[in-house]
């Protein structure tokens, strides 16, 4: 009897996670071999047909490529930049850190839906402040959300604004946790600020950085879904569609459950490969705390 | 405030953590109301034994009895134990009074009784002024008292202490030892006290159980543990600096150790002749060796070179080297000698110990104990 | 001395001020527009301060949509999700730290893996399940799938591990059962992490867009973030002031929660081992 006590504690969470995350993954796998419009009572076995039609079509590859572009942009704006800013915070006296921390984290508490709506207004080609400013400076004012080349940047920036503060705080936590004695020891040995950063702080925070990196890749694609869905619907002509949005579009736009599920399975595989690749590449370089 | 104490008995208890055996076939009986100290080096299994009594660990094999009831299946809260932890484990968000009251509340003791018990314990420990403070507002010594207070308000038949003084500085520790003993006299419960510190063990314990490698080495009064160690481990573990142990060969009335040959007193020579021959070890405590500037009668002393000395003020510790790589430590009066000097050592034969090959004590001739001054009684 | 320190710090301050300003500008522009009358908005210009501040936009939002209903929907869902998710997370974190049992690590890491499964991969079956249960357009359908969070379990497990084991043992010897240990010893001991996590849960639940988008079609069930959609898709197109007023109202509750607890939240995030 006593053996089952721990299960009582774990059961509620475990049940929900299995029911709403793991079972659906298997179910998606099953759906991906069917052809079904989600309404008719019968689904038809399709075999690998959904996968073939995805892989031979244009949308999947476009969305895959776009996902990669989003990811690279987000890694720069939501990993490298917040790391730099978090490091900057550690360089000023603690007394002056508080307002910076509070202000920079603030956008993190805003819904992506709100962020999307705000930026829709900021990007407005006629009245939006961004373009007004650019015109004042004598530069051209692109149509951010309707231009092939600009749309991904514009949508990434929305996600960046929302996600920056959170990643900044996480990275700051990693930086603050670097033992002061290590830095002082290096100072005694005459290391310069840059040397201390490169040889002590950077390796000591590599576990945190890796965490933020993985999270940015996995969650970035989901976060960027909201502005895509709200502002561009994947357009113009798939230019802003990423894999996650494509799943949604097949499922809830075109009611092709099988194709949506196949796309979901392939997306999951892409993420899995990305994460494993990162883990492999960074494994040797990362210094873990425990 | 007196509680009804009960005895504790370990019966062939074995406890494994994975592949590591913490206790092996452990037998020990603690009398009701006794102060028993479990002493041993770290990792020897003494804390495991205490935690088994508390119910924080479950015995793999064997039984633990309180009085004549087996308590193996009783959860900690129902065992009637009070425990003081090494780090005190005071609830950080509760005041001292709340810390003391918590266990009583869990046991549904009426509030007026809780208050009365807290007041009594506080006055015994001098905690009256601290009752409304939180642990972080207390000094180390005050925390230790608060932890004691939390234990004694339970008026439990068993009082368990796990290295309760190890976080105190040396001066406080000496005072706390005396206080603990007087506290125990007042409450009268069965006390099990774990420590690795031999001074604590000698001063607190009515009896000491020396444990090493998960096995019981010896249970005895502090005097007998010191003067009549049952094996070489106990002999070396107790006493500071530790006992000199030297492999020796005995032939008739001659004893050889290293490059030294000595005359054995007749009583030892006769006694040893009846023991099994072969590798034996001679043990002599540093205070049972006498250092002299000149040689005594032939065969009674041997020359040594002083390699190092530590002057402790009231006494000194001399590190010596004799012929044949033989190293000795001697306690004596400080002054008068210099490192590098050649001196002479004489053995107080009434106080020597012999151990066999595996380290078991061979005992001693009865004749010696008639004029024994150690107060430790016969072998 | 002072001058030299400033010149050393100044570049960092410049970077930080720039970041802080960029973080705030969208808020400022949102609020500025929300309080501007329509002609002023269409006149363009970069002055954030409205020349003639007006509440007309807010009044319009309240006329167009059942704002209080959406507010109540969102609040109820967020409170339910936060409360119940805290319960499941705390129980699970306690189970994973305070017991030793076979397969513990395996089950724990299995839970952790769920963090890496994108919602979109699981959305079809989840949608179908909720629809089979007849829970579309209901609080049950909105709330129940969001009641467990591996991240929360992970963070709480980290903070429980900072509590000395002897504290739990002392409580057991004091005769406290598991629930008493949880309520009276563990939770007070890790209160900062628990409160910070609850605030994080609340803010995220309030902001949730994706799942409500799938399960709520009935406009009377909408949450605020979802309702914002109506201002971008249909009538919103040119009514920027109204749109920003709606956005401001949606952003307000989490912002207020954050402003009230800001110091506490940020510091406990930094101290609570959030870094993973």
**Residue C93 belongs to domain with CATH number:** 1.10.3720.10
Does residue A276 carry a pLDDT above 60?
yes
Domain ranges, ordered by start, for chain B: 8-232, 242-369
pLDDT at C164: 92
**Closest chain B CA to residue C179:** B106
The average pLDDT across A238-244 equals: 89
The average pLDDT across B158-164 equals: 94
Query: B242-369: what fold?
Result: OB fold (Dihydrolipoamide Acetyltransferase, E2P) (2.40.50)
The shortest C-alpha distance from C274 to chain A (Å) reads 6
Cβ distance A109 to C27 under 8 Å? no
**With an 8 Å Cβ cutoff, is C96 touching chain A?**
yes
The whole-angstrom separation of Cα A234 and Cα A246 is 8
With bands split at pLDDT 50, 70 and 90, how would you rate the model's confidence at A285? low
Which of C164, C171, C174, C179 has the most B C-beta neighbours within 10 Å, making it the best mutation to test the interface with B?
Answer: C174
The average pLDDT across B331-346 equals: 90
Does residue B262 carry a pLDDT above 50?
yes
Per the domain annotation, does C104 fall within a domain? Answer: yes
Per CB-CB distance under 8 Å, the chain A contacts of C126 are 20, 24
pLDDT at A221: 85
Task: Return the bridge partners of B331, or none.
Answer: B317
Does residue B10 carry a pLDDT above 90?
yes
What share of chain B in percent tops pLDDT 90?
66
The model's pLDDT over A65-105, given as tens digits with 9 standing for 90+, comes to: 999 999 999 999 999 999 999 999 988 888 888 889 889 99
pLDDT at C48: 76
Q: Write out the DSSP string of chain A.
A: -GGGHHHHHHHHHHHHHIIIIIHHHHHHHHHTTEE--SSSS--EE-TTHHHHHHHHSSHHHHHHHHHHHHHHHHHIIIIIHHHHHHHHHHTS-HHHHHHHHHHHHGGGGS-HHHHHHHHHHHT-TTT-HHHHHHHHTT-----TTT-TTTHHHHHHHHHHHHHHHHHHHHHHHHHHTS-HHHHHHHHHTT--HHHHIIIIIHHHTHHHHHHHHHHHHHHHHHHTHHHIIIIITT-STTTT--HHHHHHIIIIIS--HHHHHHHHHHHHHHHHHHHHHHHHHHHTT-----
Low-confidence ranges of chain C (pLDDT < 70): 1-5, 233-238, 269-276
Maximum Cα interatomic distance, chain C, rounded to a whole number of Å = 74
The shortest C-alpha distance from A237 to chain C (Å) reads 18
pLDDT at A222: 86
**With an 8 Å Cβ cutoff, is C181 touching chain A?**
no
**With an 8 Å Cβ cutoff, is B16 touching chain C?**
no
**Between residues A139 and C140, the one the model is more confident about:** C140
Is there a contact between C111 and A13 if contact means CB atoms under 8 Å apart? yes
**With an 8 Å Cβ cutoff, is C256 touching chain B?**
no
Cβ count near B212 (within 10 Å): 19
What part of A 55-74 touches C (C-beta under 8 Å)? Answer: none
Q: Report ipTM for this prediction.
A: 0.87
The average pLDDT across B348-357 equals: 92
**Closest chain C CA to residue B150:** C174
Does residue A235 carry a pLDDT above 80?
no
Per CB-CB distance under 8 Å, the chain C contacts of A210 are none
pLDDT at C43: 76
Residue A253: phi, psi to the nearest 5? -95, -50
User: Hey, what are A28's tokens?
Assistant: 């998606």
One domain for residues C153 and C21: no
The model's pLDDT over A10-59, given as tens digits with 9 standing for 90+, comes to: 999 999 999 999 999 999 998 888 888 877 778 788 888 889 988 988 99
With bands split at pLDDT 50, 70 and 90, how would you rate the model's confidence at B60? confident
One domain for residues C143 and C30: no
Query: B8-232: what fold?
Result: Rossmann fold (3.40.50)
**With an 8 Å Cβ cutoff, is A276 touching chain C?**
no
The beta-carbon neighbor of C116 closest among A23, A136, A218 is A218
The average pLDDT across B364-378 equals: 65
Per the domain annotation, does C264 fall within a domain? Answer: yes
**With an 8 Å Cβ cutoff, is C174 touching chain B?**
yes
One domain for residues C41 and C103: no
Domain carrying residue C77: 65-271
Does residue A142 carry a pLDDT above 90?
no
Does residue A281 carry a pLDDT above 90?
no
- Give buried/exposed letters for C67-101 (b at 16+ CB in 10 A, else e): beebbebbbebbebbbebbbebbbbbbbbbbbbee
**With an 8 Å Cβ cutoff, is A260 touching chain C?**
yes
Catalogue all structural domains in chain A, each as residue range(s) with its CATH number. Answer: 57-283 (1.10.3720.10)
pLDDT at B278: 78
**With an 8 Å Cβ cutoff, is C13 touching chain A?**
yes
The shortest C-alpha distance from C172 to chain B (Å) reads 6
Total number of domains in chain C: 2
Mean pLDDT (chain A, rounded):
86
**With an 8 Å Cβ cutoff, is C242 touching chain A?**
no
Per CB-CB distance under 8 Å, the chain B contacts of C183 are none
Residue A185: phi, psi to the nearest 5? -60, -40
Does residue A287 carry a pLDDT above 80?
no
The average pLDDT across B155-184 equals: 90
The shortest C-alpha distance from C148 to chain A (Å) reads 5
Is there a contact between C225 and A92 if contact means CB atoms under 8 Å apart? no
A36 by Cβ neighbours in 10 Å (0-12 / 13-18 / 19+) ranks as: buried
One domain for residues C94 and C207: yes
pLDDT at C236: 45
With bands split at pLDDT 50, 70 and 90, how would you rate the model's confidence at A290? very low
What share of chain A in percent tops pLDDT 90?
32
One domain for residues C82 and C174: yes
Does residue A1 carry a pLDDT above 70?
no
What part of B 71-90 touches C (C-beta under 8 Å)? Answer: 75-79, 81-83, 85-87, 89-90
Per the domain annotation, does C276 fall within a domain? Answer: no
Q: Which SS3 state, helix, strand or coil, does residue B290 take?
A: strand
One domain for residues C250 and C115: yes
Cβ count near B263 (within 10 Å): 14
The average pLDDT across B261-281 equals: 87
With bands split at pLDDT 50, 70 and 90, how would you rate the model's confidence at B295? confident
């Amino acid at each position: 009897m006593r053996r089952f006590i721990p299960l009582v504690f774990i059961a509620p969470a475990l049940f929900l996670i299995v029911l709403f995350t793991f079972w659906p993954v298997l179910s998606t796998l099953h759906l991906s071999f069917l052809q079904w419009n989600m309404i008719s009572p019968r689904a038809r076995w399709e075999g690998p047909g959904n996968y073939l039609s995805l892989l031979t079509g244009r949308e999947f590859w476009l969305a895959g490529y776009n996902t990669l572009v989003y990811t690279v942009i987000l890694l720069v704006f939501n990993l490298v930049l917040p790391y730099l800013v978090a490091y900057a915070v550690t360089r000023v006296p603690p007394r002056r850190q508080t307002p910076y921390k509070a202000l920079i984290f603030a956008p993190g508490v805003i819904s992506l839906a709100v962020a999307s709506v705000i930026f829709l207004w900021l990007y407005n080609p006629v009245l939006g402040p961004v373009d007004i400013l650019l015109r004042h400076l004598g530069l051209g004012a692109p149509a951010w959300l309707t231009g092939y080349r600009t749309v991904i940047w514009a949508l990434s920036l929305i996600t960046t604004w929302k996600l920056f503060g959170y990643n900044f705080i996480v990275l700051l936590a990693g930086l603050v946790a670097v033992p002061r004695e290590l830095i002082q020891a290096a100072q005694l040995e005459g290391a310069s600020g840059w040397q201390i950063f490169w040889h002590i702080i950077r390796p000591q925070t590599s576990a945190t950085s890796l965490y933020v990196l993985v999270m940015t890749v996995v969650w970035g694609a989901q976060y960027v879904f909201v502005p895509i869905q709200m502002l561009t619907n994947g357009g113009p002509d798939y230019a802003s569609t990423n894999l996650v949005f494509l799943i949604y579009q097949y499922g809830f736009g075109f009611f092709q459950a099988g194709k949506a599920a196949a796309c979901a399975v392939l997306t999951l595989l892409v993420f899995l490969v990305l994460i494993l690749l990162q883990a492999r590449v960074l494994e040797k370089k990362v210094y873990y705390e425990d | 405030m007196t509680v009804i104490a009960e005895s504790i008995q370990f019966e062939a208890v074995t406890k494994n953590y994975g592949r590591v055996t913490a206790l092996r076939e452990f037998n020990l009986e603690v009398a009701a109301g006794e102060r028993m100290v479990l002493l041993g080096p770290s990792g020897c299994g003494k804390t495991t034994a205490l935690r088994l009594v508390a119910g924080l660990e479950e015995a793999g094999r064997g039984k633990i009895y309180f009085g004549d009831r087996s308590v193996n299946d009783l959860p900690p809260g129902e065992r009637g134990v009070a425990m003081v932890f090494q780090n005190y484990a005071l609830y950080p968000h509760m005041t001292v009074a709340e810390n003391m009251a918590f266990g009583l509340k869990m046991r549904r003791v009426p509030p007026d009784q809780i208050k009365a018990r807290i007041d009594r314990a506080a006055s015994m420990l001098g905690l009256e002024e601290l009752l409304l403070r939180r642990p972080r507002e207390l000094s180390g010594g005050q925390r230790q008292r608060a932890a004691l207070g939390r234990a004694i308000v339970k008026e439990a038949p068993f009082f368990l202490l796990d290295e309760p003084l190890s976080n105190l500085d040396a001066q406080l520790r000496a005072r706390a030892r005396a206080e603990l003993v007087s506290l125990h006299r007042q409450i009268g419960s069965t006390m099990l006290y774990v420590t690795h510190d031999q001074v604590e063990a000698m001063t607190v314990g009515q009896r000491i159980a020396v444990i090493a490698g998960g096995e019981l080495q010896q249970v005895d009064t502090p005097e007998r543990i010191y003067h009549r160690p049952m094996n070489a481990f106990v002999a070396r573990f107790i006493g500071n600096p530790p006992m000199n142990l030297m492999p020796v060969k005995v032939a008739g009335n001659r004893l050889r150790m290293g490059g030294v040959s000595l005359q054995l007193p007749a009583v030892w020579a006769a006694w040893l002749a009846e023991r099994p021959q072969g590798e034996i070890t001679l043990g002599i405590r540093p205070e049972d060796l006498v250092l002299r500037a000149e040689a005594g009668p032939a065969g009674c002393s041997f020359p040594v070179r002083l390699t190092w000395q530590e002057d402790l003020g009231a006494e000194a510790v001399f590190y010596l080297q004799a012929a044949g790589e033989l190293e000795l430590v001697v306690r004596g009066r400080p002054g008068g000698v210099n490192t590098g000097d050649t001196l002479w050592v004489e053995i107080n034969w009434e106080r020597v110990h012999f151990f066999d090959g595996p380290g078991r004590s061979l005992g001693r001739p009865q004749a010696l104990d008639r004029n024994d001054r150690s107060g430790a009684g016969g072998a | 001395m002072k001058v030299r320190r400033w010149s050393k710090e100044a570049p960092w301050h410049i970077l930080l001020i720039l970041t802080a300003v960029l973080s705030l500008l969208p808020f400022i522009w949102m609020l500025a527009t929300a309080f501007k009358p329509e002609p002023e908005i269409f006149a363009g210009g970069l002055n954030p301060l409205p020349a003639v501040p007006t509440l007309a936009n807010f009044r319009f939002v309240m006329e167009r949509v059942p704002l209080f209903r959406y507010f109540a929907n969102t609040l109820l869902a967020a409170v339910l999700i936060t409360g119940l998710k805290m319960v499941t997370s705390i129980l699970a974190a306690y189970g994973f730290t305070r017991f030793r049992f076979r397969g513990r690590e395996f089950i724990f890491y299995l839970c952790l893996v769920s963090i890496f499964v994108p919602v979109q991969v699981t959305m079809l079956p989840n949608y179908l399940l909720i629809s089979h249960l007849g829970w579309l357009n209901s609080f049950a359908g909105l709330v129940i799938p969001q009641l467990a969070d591996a991240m929360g379990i992970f963070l709480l497990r980290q903070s429980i591990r900072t509590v000395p084991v002897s504290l739990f043992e002392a409580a057991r010897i004091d005769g406290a059962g598991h629930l008493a240990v949880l309520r009276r010893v563990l939770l007070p001991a890790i209160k900062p992490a628990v409160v910070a996590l609850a605030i994080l849960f609340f803010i995220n639940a309030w902001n949730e867009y994706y799942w409500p988008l799938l399960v709520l079609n009935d406009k009377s069930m909408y949450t605020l973030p979802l309702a914002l959609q109506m201002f971008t898709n249909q009538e919103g197109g040119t009514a920027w002031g109204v749109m920003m007023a709606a956005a401001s109202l949606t952003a307000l509750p989490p912002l207020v929660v954050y402003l009230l607890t800001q110091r506490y939240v940020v510091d406990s995030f930094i101290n609570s081992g959030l870094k993973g």
